Amino acid sequence: MELTKEINIQQQLSGRNFLTLGDYSKAEISYLLELAATLKMQRQKGIIEQPLQGKTLGMIFEKSSTRTRVSFEAGIYQLGGTGLFLSANDIQIGRGEPIADTAKVLSGYLDGIMIRTFSQKTVEELAANASIPVINGLTDSYHPCQVLADLQTIEEVKGGLNGINLVYVGDGNNMAHSLMLGASRMGMNISIAAPEGFQPDECITEQAKSIARLQGGKVEITSDLPAAVRGADVIYTDVWASMGQESEQAAREQAFSGFQVNKELFSYAQKDAVFMHCLPAHRGEEVTAEVIDGSRSVVFQQAENRLHAQKALMTALMG
- Predicted confidence band of residue 110 (pLDDT cuts 50, 70, 90): very high
As a whole number, mean pLDDT of residues 160-189 equals 98
Q: Which residues share a beta bridge with 83?
A: 57
pLDDT for 317 beyond 80: yes
What is each CA distance from 184 to 167, 171, 191, 229, in whole angstroms? 12, 19, 11, 17
Res 256 pLDDT > 80: yes
| CA–CA gap between residue 246 and residue 200 (Å, rounded) | 19
CA distance 66 to 303: 10
CA 308 – CA 303 distance, rounded (Å): 10
> Taking 90 as the threshold, does the pLDDT of residue 93 lie above it?
no
Tell me whether residue 278 is one of the annotated catalytic residues: yes
Known binding positions for carbamoyl phosphate: 65-68, 92, 116, 143-146, 278-279, 306
**Residues within the annotated binding site for L-ornithine?**
174, 238, 242-243
The reply to whether 116 belongs to the active site is yes
Question: Model's pTM, two decimal places?
Answer: 0.96
Angle between the N-to-C axes of helices 99-107 and 120-129, in degrees from 0 to 180, rounded to the nearest 10? 50
| Strand stretches in 3-46, DSSP E | none
Average pLDDT taken over every residue of the chain: 96
203 an active-site residue? no
Q: Is 259 left (phi over 0), alpha (psi -120 to 50) or beta?
A: alpha
Among the listed residues 312, 279, 318, the one whose alpha carbon sits nearest the alpha carbon of residue 75: 312
Mean pLDDT, residues 150-168 = 98
Dist. CA 258–CA 264, nearest whole Å: 12
Q: Write the pLDDT tens digit of every residue in 21-63.
A: 999 999 999 999 999 999 999 999 999 999 999 999 999 999 9
Domains of the chain: 1-143+306-318 (3.40.50.1370), 145-302 (3.40.50.1370)
Inter-residue contact 115 to 122 (CB < 8 Å): yes
Please check the confidence at residue 1 and state whether its pLDDT lies above 80: no
Q: Are strands 112-116 and 165-169 parallel, antiparallel or unpaired?
A: unpaired
Q: Where are the beta strands (DSSP E) in 2-133?
A: 56-61, 82-87, 112-116
* % of the chain surpassing 70 pLDDT: 100
pLDDT of residue 148: 98
Q: Of the residues 143, 185, 252, 277, which is catalytic?
A: 143
> For 112-116, what is the mean pLDDT?
98
Catalytic pick among 278, 302, 308, 310: 278
The count of residues in the chain is 319
